[in-house]
A and B are shown apart, each in its own frame.
Chain A
Protein backbone atom coordinates (compact mmCIF):
# COMPACT_ATOMS: atom_id res chain seq x y z
CA UNK A 1 0.00 0.00 0.00
CA UNK A 2 0.81 3.75 0.01
CA UNK A 3 2.00 3.99 -3.58
CA UNK A 4 2.57 7.33 -5.25
CA UNK A 5 3.15 7.66 -8.97
CA UNK A 6 4.53 10.51 -11.03
CA UNK A 7 4.20 11.17 -14.71
CA UNK A 8 6.21 11.69 -16.78
CA UNK A 9 9.38 10.14 -15.37
CA UNK A 10 11.47 12.37 -17.57
CA UNK A 11 10.74 15.20 -19.95
CA UNK A 12 12.79 17.32 -22.30
CA UNK A 13 11.35 20.59 -23.48
CA UNK A 14 12.38 23.77 -25.23
CA UNK A 15 12.97 26.98 -23.37
CA UNK A 16 9.79 29.02 -23.06
CA UNK A 17 7.38 26.13 -23.07
CA UNK A 18 5.32 24.88 -20.12
CA UNK A 19 5.54 21.44 -18.61
CA UNK A 20 3.00 19.67 -16.42
CA UNK A 21 3.97 16.96 -13.95
CA UNK A 22 1.30 14.75 -12.37
CA UNK A 23 1.45 13.17 -8.94
CA UNK A 24 -1.09 10.50 -8.03
CA UNK A 25 -1.73 8.55 -4.87
CA UNK A 26 -2.78 5.15 -6.19
CA UNK A 27 -4.20 3.38 -3.18
CA UNK A 28 -5.01 6.06 -0.65
CA UNK A 29 -6.52 9.50 -0.40
CA UNK A 30 -3.92 12.18 0.04
CA UNK A 31 -5.18 15.21 1.90
CA UNK A 32 -1.80 16.88 1.56
CA UNK A 33 0.78 16.65 -1.20
CA UNK A 34 4.23 18.13 -1.28
CA UNK A 35 6.45 19.15 -4.15
CA UNK A 36 10.21 19.03 -3.84
CA UNK A 37 13.12 19.91 -6.03
CA UNK A 38 16.42 18.10 -5.77
CA UNK A 39 19.73 19.17 -7.24
CA UNK A 40 22.46 16.56 -7.83
CA UNK A 41 23.99 15.20 -4.66
CA UNK A 42 21.86 17.47 -2.50
CA UNK A 43 18.94 17.06 -0.16
CA UNK A 44 15.32 17.63 -1.07
CA UNK A 45 14.18 21.23 -1.12
CA UNK A 46 10.50 21.75 -0.37
CA UNK A 47 8.84 23.98 -2.94
CA UNK A 48 5.24 23.95 -1.82
CA UNK A 49 2.56 22.20 0.17
CA UNK A 50 -0.85 21.65 -1.32
CA UNK A 51 -4.04 20.64 0.40
CA UNK A 52 -6.94 19.23 -1.56
CA UNK A 53 -9.32 21.93 -2.66
CA UNK A 54 -7.26 24.88 -1.47
CA UNK A 55 -4.40 27.02 -2.70
CA UNK A 56 -0.87 25.77 -2.33
CA UNK A 57 1.47 27.23 0.26
CA UNK A 58 4.81 28.10 -1.30
CA UNK A 59 8.14 28.16 0.47
CA UNK A 60 10.07 31.36 0.61
CA UNK A 61 11.88 32.09 -2.63
CA UNK A 62 9.69 29.86 -4.80
CA UNK A 63 7.86 31.76 -7.54
CA UNK A 64 4.23 30.75 -7.38
CA UNK A 65 3.51 32.18 -10.82
CA UNK A 66 6.24 30.03 -12.31
CA UNK A 67 5.46 26.82 -10.46
CA UNK A 68 1.69 26.40 -10.58
CA UNK A 69 0.32 23.74 -8.27
CA UNK A 70 -3.16 22.30 -8.42
CA UNK A 71 -4.57 19.73 -6.01
CA UNK A 72 -8.01 19.20 -7.46
CA UNK A 73 -8.76 15.82 -5.96
CA UNK A 74 -7.68 13.59 -3.11
CA UNK A 75 -5.57 11.51 -5.46
CA UNK A 76 -4.07 14.00 -7.89
CA UNK A 77 -1.82 17.01 -7.70
CA UNK A 78 -0.12 18.69 -10.63
CA UNK A 79 2.92 20.93 -10.90
CA UNK A 80 3.16 23.10 -13.99
CA UNK A 81 6.47 24.75 -14.75
CA UNK A 82 5.51 27.76 -16.84
CA UNK A 83 7.82 29.33 -19.42
CA UNK A 84 10.55 26.91 -18.50
CA UNK A 85 14.18 27.97 -18.74
CA UNK A 86 17.38 25.92 -18.56
CA UNK A 87 17.84 26.85 -14.90
CA UNK A 88 14.57 25.04 -14.15
CA UNK A 89 16.20 21.79 -15.18
CA UNK A 90 16.15 19.57 -12.12
CA UNK A 91 14.67 16.51 -10.47
CA UNK A 92 11.17 17.11 -9.12
CA UNK A 93 9.68 14.80 -6.49
CA UNK A 94 6.20 14.73 -5.04
CA UNK A 95 5.01 13.13 -1.84
CA UNK A 96 1.65 12.56 -0.24
CA UNK A 97 0.27 12.10 3.22
CA UNK A 98 -3.03 11.05 4.70
CA UNK A 99 -4.91 13.33 7.06
CA UNK A 100 -3.73 13.06 10.65
CA UNK A 101 -0.79 10.89 9.69
CA UNK A 102 2.79 11.99 9.72
CA UNK A 103 4.42 9.72 7.15
CA UNK A 104 4.98 11.00 3.63
CA UNK A 105 5.07 8.59 0.71
CA UNK A 106 7.16 9.66 -2.23
CA UNK A 107 6.74 9.41 -5.95
CA UNK A 108 9.60 8.18 -8.14
CA UNK A 109 10.44 11.67 -9.35
CA UNK A 110 10.50 13.49 -12.68
CA UNK A 111 13.66 14.57 -14.39
CA UNK A 112 13.14 17.81 -16.29
CA UNK A 113 15.63 19.03 -18.87
CA UNK A 114 15.02 22.40 -20.48
CA UNK A 115 17.02 23.07 -23.62
Chain B
Protein backbone atom coordinates (compact mmCIF):
# COMPACT_ATOMS: atom_id res chain seq x y z
CA UNK B 1 0.00 0.00 0.00
CA UNK B 2 1.13 3.50 -0.70
CA UNK B 3 2.06 5.81 2.14
CA UNK B 4 2.95 9.49 2.30
CA UNK B 5 4.99 10.92 5.16
CA UNK B 6 5.44 14.55 6.09
CA UNK B 7 7.85 14.61 9.00
CA UNK B 8 7.61 18.32 9.82
CA UNK B 9 4.36 19.12 11.68
CA UNK B 10 5.19 22.81 11.93
CA UNK B 11 7.66 25.20 10.37
CA UNK B 12 8.21 28.91 10.34
CA UNK B 13 10.12 31.19 8.01
CA UNK B 14 10.86 34.87 7.85
CA UNK B 15 9.18 36.87 5.13
CA UNK B 16 11.26 36.95 1.92
CA UNK B 17 13.29 33.92 2.99
CA UNK B 18 13.25 30.44 1.46
CA UNK B 19 11.79 27.36 3.11
CA UNK B 20 11.68 23.70 2.13
CA UNK B 21 8.93 21.29 3.18
CA UNK B 22 9.71 17.61 3.01
CA UNK B 23 7.61 14.71 1.81
CA UNK B 24 8.53 11.08 1.34
CA UNK B 25 6.38 8.33 -0.04
CA UNK B 26 6.37 4.64 -0.60
CA UNK B 27 4.99 2.87 -3.64
CA UNK B 28 5.69 -0.02 -5.94
CA UNK B 29 4.12 1.74 -8.90
CA UNK B 30 6.21 3.22 -11.66
CA UNK B 31 3.73 5.69 -13.05
CA UNK B 32 2.21 8.12 -10.59
CA UNK B 33 1.68 11.76 -9.77
CA UNK B 34 2.64 13.80 -6.74
CA UNK B 35 0.99 16.99 -5.57
CA UNK B 36 1.39 19.77 -3.09
CA UNK B 37 -1.81 21.42 -1.89
CA UNK B 38 -2.07 24.50 0.27
CA UNK B 39 -4.87 24.96 2.80
CA UNK B 40 -4.94 28.53 4.16
CA UNK B 41 -7.07 29.55 7.15
CA UNK B 42 -10.08 29.73 4.84
CA UNK B 43 -9.65 25.93 4.52
CA UNK B 44 -9.99 26.01 0.73
CA UNK B 45 -7.62 23.43 -0.72
CA UNK B 46 -5.51 25.02 -3.44
CA UNK B 47 -3.30 23.11 -5.85
CA UNK B 48 0.23 24.48 -5.59
CA UNK B 49 2.20 22.20 -7.88
CA UNK B 50 2.15 18.74 -9.37
CA UNK B 51 4.82 16.37 -10.63
CA UNK B 52 4.51 13.46 -13.02
CA UNK B 53 6.79 10.64 -11.97
CA UNK B 54 7.99 9.84 -15.46
CA UNK B 55 9.23 13.39 -15.95
CA UNK B 56 12.73 13.91 -14.65
CA UNK B 57 12.50 17.68 -14.72
CA UNK B 58 11.38 19.22 -11.46
CA UNK B 59 8.12 21.15 -11.66
CA UNK B 60 8.09 24.87 -10.94
CA UNK B 61 5.28 27.37 -10.49
CA UNK B 62 6.52 30.90 -9.92
CA UNK B 63 7.98 30.95 -6.38
CA UNK B 64 7.20 27.28 -5.81
CA UNK B 65 9.42 24.46 -6.99
CA UNK B 66 9.91 20.83 -6.12
CA UNK B 67 12.91 18.61 -5.68
CA UNK B 68 11.71 15.25 -6.96
CA UNK B 69 14.05 12.36 -6.21
CA UNK B 70 12.33 9.29 -7.62
CA UNK B 71 14.87 6.73 -6.45
CA UNK B 72 14.79 8.12 -2.95
CA UNK B 73 11.00 8.55 -3.11
CA UNK B 74 11.30 12.10 -1.96
CA UNK B 75 9.23 15.09 -3.08
CA UNK B 76 10.10 18.32 -1.27
CA UNK B 77 8.54 21.72 -1.85
CA UNK B 78 10.66 24.86 -1.92
CA UNK B 79 9.01 28.20 -1.41
CA UNK B 80 11.18 31.14 -2.39
CA UNK B 81 10.69 34.75 -1.31
CA UNK B 82 8.12 33.66 1.27
CA UNK B 83 5.11 35.91 1.66
CA UNK B 84 2.67 36.34 4.52
CA UNK B 85 -0.02 34.84 2.30
CA UNK B 86 1.93 31.61 2.17
CA UNK B 87 0.94 30.93 5.77
CA UNK B 88 -1.10 27.73 5.55
CA UNK B 89 -1.19 24.00 5.98
CA UNK B 90 0.61 22.22 3.17
CA UNK B 91 -0.34 18.70 2.20
CA UNK B 92 1.64 16.34 0.04
CA UNK B 93 -0.49 13.87 -1.96
CA UNK B 94 0.18 10.77 -4.04
CA UNK B 95 -1.94 9.46 -6.91
CA UNK B 96 -1.20 6.13 -8.55
CA UNK B 97 -2.31 5.44 -12.09
CA UNK B 98 -3.33 1.86 -11.33
CA UNK B 99 -5.32 2.64 -8.22
CA UNK B 100 -8.82 3.77 -7.48
CA UNK B 101 -8.25 7.40 -8.46
CA UNK B 102 -8.01 8.48 -4.86
CA UNK B 103 -5.27 10.53 -3.30
CA UNK B 104 -3.09 9.39 -0.46
CA UNK B 105 -2.44 12.44 1.71
CA UNK B 106 0.34 13.15 4.14
CA UNK B 107 -0.42 14.50 7.60
CA UNK B 108 0.45 18.04 6.60
CA UNK B 109 2.96 20.71 7.57
CA UNK B 110 1.77 23.91 9.15
CA UNK B 111 3.84 26.79 7.78
CA UNK B 112 3.88 30.19 9.37
CA UNK B 113 5.51 33.11 7.59
CA UNK B 114 6.75 35.71 10.02
CA UNK B 115 6.81 39.43 9.30
Contact = CB atoms under 8 A, between A and B. Distances in A.
Nearest to B103: A104
B20 interface: no
Interface string B26-60: 00000001010100001111110010000000000
Main SS class of interface, B: loop
Contact of A43 (B47, B100, B108): B108
Contacts of A93: 43, 45
A37 B36 CA distance: 19
Main SS class of interface, A: strand
Contacts of B108: 42-43
Ranked 3 nearest A-B pairs via Cβ: A106-B45, A102-B33, A108-B44
Interface of A: 32, 34, 38, 41-44, 46, 49, 57, 91, 93, 95, 97, 102-106, 108-109
Given A44-B91, A44-B105, A106-B44, 7 more contacts: A49-B100, A49-B102, A102-B33, A103-B50, A104-B103, A106-B46, A109-B43
